[in-house]
Amino acid sequence: MQRNEIPKIKPYFYDITLRDGNQSLKKPWNLDEKLIIFDKIQELNIPAVEIGFPASSQMDFDSCVELAKKAGEKTKVSVLARAHHGDIERALAAIKDAKNSRLHTFITLSPFHMEYVLNKKPQDVAQIAIDAVDFAKKNIKNPNCDIEFSVEHFGDCEENIDFVIEVLKEIVNKGATTINLPNTVERYRPYRYISLMKKVKENLPSNVIISVHNHNDLGMATATTVESYFSGAIQLECCLNGLGERAGNTDFAQVATILNNNCVDTGINLEKIYETTLLISQMSRVKIYEKAPLVGPEALAHRSGIHQDGAIKTKDMDFGAYRPIKPSIIGRYDDEKIGFTSQSGKTAIYDIIKALKYPITIQESIYLTPIAKEMAESKGELTGEEILELYFNKICNIKGVFELISFKPIEKGVYDLFFNYKGERKEVIGTGNGPIDACLNGLSKLGFDKIKLSYYKQYSLDGDEKGSGASAMSAVSMLDNKNNEIIGRAIDSSTALANVKAIFNALNQVY
Ligand code: KIV
Ligand code: ZN
């Protein structure tokens, strides 16, 4: 994004969770609940908050009174009122103690709604709107209280946009400083709404703040709001978790994150987004759907091998191969979920085992991948536990021609090795500098000398969640007579036995 494409004026976020969001809930919030959410909105640093609709209920009026008292100068608290005197008086009474406030009044100017819902002539509706703003202006006592006027169903005003503009000019003359243009029901493509919005902006004085308020009936509210900002709108009305009537309002988290991704200084404490989302979901009893952008439980999940490979390779980078942001920007853990299905690949196995704190090489994960894929074909996604079990069974316990029966010390540096080879019992005394040396020495005496130790590693597995009682893992790296590297792993509570089992696992890969 070129810097010169970024609008000079910062976006002004206007939160509508406590009003538009609240009115759509099965159980609207009481004062205590609104207080918790109001605090969260302030933590996000959203400068303007519509705290309620005082004429809608006594509970909402009382909540607005308390929130208005509580809010400091930094936060503009706004209340909604229909375009009639009774509502406006009630609204102004609710915010009388606020330091920085707004009266927000509205009426539809859409031809369809004026005719079929209000049953009024356009000129009569225009007069109601102008009169409401005039009445509000004359009754506002607080110099820090301004007026917002909304054209309900603005998105349906294509055919009478010139009329709407003329009414808005009058409304601005009467004292409204913010003109909000709701796409009350989303019906058409964003371009059509934005063209109308631009026309209004061009025809009103430049000091009028143009606001957008997009409902999400067709799923494009975020796009429309973001593009509206790049086309001249300043105030962006958004709702936490995209709550709101029907399919909701514009989702705040999405808009703020998208603008941030496009080099816009949002002024928002983005790192508070994720925790706020969880809180709002809990308080609204509206679940976050699995695939919700940015915040959904599955929004950071990768299941195809190609995506997993890219995701893992770019894990710690700011720019991820298969994610739009670094999740910690919105306060989410940076862990991208790697889920293993029949579509997944070796990198997933490697990453899952590593994440469970077990050692694995990429060769070992290549070996495990087809086995895991086959299992996942019938079962679906494998859990970490299941992959770990596969790792234990196929890597740490390799079945083959060798079968260890016992390995017992006789005296220092001398061991009795007892095993089956192709079903035939074998016993030998091995000597050496420790169990590995002694075991290899015994094997070599019997002619099994195809492998040579190249290195050896011991891992402590204390706290092993599988409850296997295992406490140590040995890994031996051997070279066969063609210099191929073979890794044998084994787990046992006795370190000596873990070592010998690891050698037998390596032998079973060679013979
Ligand atoms: O969607 C809408 O039209 C509204 C107005 C009341 C602003 O919420
Ligand atoms: Zn609305």
Model confidence over 492-509: pLDDT tens digits? Answer: 989 899 999 999 999 998
465 C-beta neighbours (distance < 10 Å), count: 11
Q: How far is the CA of 141 from the centre of ligand 2 (A)?
A: 27
Mean of pLDDT values over 365-379: 96
Distance, CA of 144 to CA of 461 (rounded, Å): 65
Query: Helices 435-445 and 495-510, interaxial angle, to 10°?
Result: 40
Average confidence score pLDDT of the chain: 95
Sequence-ordered list of residues with C-beta below 8 angstroms from that of 58, at least 6 positions apart, any chain: none
Q: pLDDT-derived band of residue 2, with 50, 70 and 90 as boundaries?
A: low
Instruction: Give, as one character, the DSSP assignment of residue 304.
Output: S
Angstrom CA distances, 420 to 54, 417, 425, stand at 85, 10, 5
Token code pair at residue 306: 């190609």
Q: Which residues contact 468 (CB under 8 A, 6 or more apart)?
A: 392, 491
Ligand 1: nearest atom to the Cα of 80:
6
Of 215, 216, 245, 249, the one to substitute when testing ligand 1's pocket (max ligand atoms within 8 A of C-beta) is 215
**Which residue spans within 323-423 are E strands per DSSP?**
337-338, 402-411, 414-421
pLDDT of residue 460: 76
Does ligand 1 have an atom closer than 6 angstroms to the CB of 20? yes
Query: How far are the Cα atoms of 18, 41, 242, 299, 422 from residue 288, in angstroms, in the given order?
Result: 18, 18, 10, 11, 58
Kindly list the structural domains of the chain, giving each domain's residue range(s) and its CATH number in brackets, ordered by start: 3-268 (3.20.20.70), 301-395 (no CATH), 402-510 (3.30.160.270)
Q: Ligand 1 test: best mutation among 15, 16, 20, 225, most atoms within 8 Å of CB?
A: 20
Q: In what order do the strands lie in the sheet with 424-431?
A: 402-411, 414-421, 424-431
- Taking CA atoms only, the protein residue closest to ligand 1 atom 7 is 150
Predicted confidence at residue 472, as pLDDT, reads 81
Query: Which atom number of ligand 1 is nearest to the Cα of residue 215?
Result: 1
pLDDT band at 5 (very low <50, low <70, confident <90, very high): confident
> Whose CA is closest to 320, among 332, 307, 311?
311
The answer to whether residues 161 and 169 touch, using CB atoms and an 8 Å cutoff, is no
Using alpha carbons, list the distances in angstroms from residue 241 to 18, 31, 217, 227, 506: 12, 20, 15, 20, 54
Greater model confidence, 334 or 388: 388
Q: Which residues contact 466 (CB under 8 A, 6 or more apart)?
A: 385, 388, 389, 392
Ligand 1 contact, 237 CB (< 6 A): no
Q: Is the pLDDT of residue 75 over 50?
A: yes
Mean pLDDT value of segment 186-193 = 98
pLDDT tier at 4, thresholds 50, 70, 90: low
Tell me the average pLDDT across 338-358: 96
Other CB atoms closer than 10 Å to residue 144's CB: what's the count? 12
> 104 in ligand 1 pocket by Cβ < 6 Å?
no
The DSSP string of 162-214 is: HHHHHHHHHHHHHT--EEEEEESS--S-HHHHHHHHHHHHHHS-TTSEEEEEE
pLDDT tens profile 227-268: 999 999 999 999 999 999 999 999 999 999 999 999 999 999
- Name the pLDDT band for 481 (thresholds 50, 70, 90): confident
Neighbours of 27 (CB within 10 A): 9
Q: What is the mean pLDDT of residues 201-223?
A: 98
Question: Are 430 and 442 a contacting pair, CB within 8 Å?
Answer: yes
At 22-54, the pLDDT tens digits run 999 999 999 999 999 999 999 999 999 999 999
> Are 108 and 166 contacting, i.e. CB atoms less than 8 angstroms apart?
no
What number of other Cβ atoms are within 10 A of residue 12's Cβ?
19
C-alpha 153 to ligand 1 mean position (Å): 8
HSE, side-chain direction, 13 A CA sphere, residue 105: 31
Structure-block tokens of residue 378: 């019938």
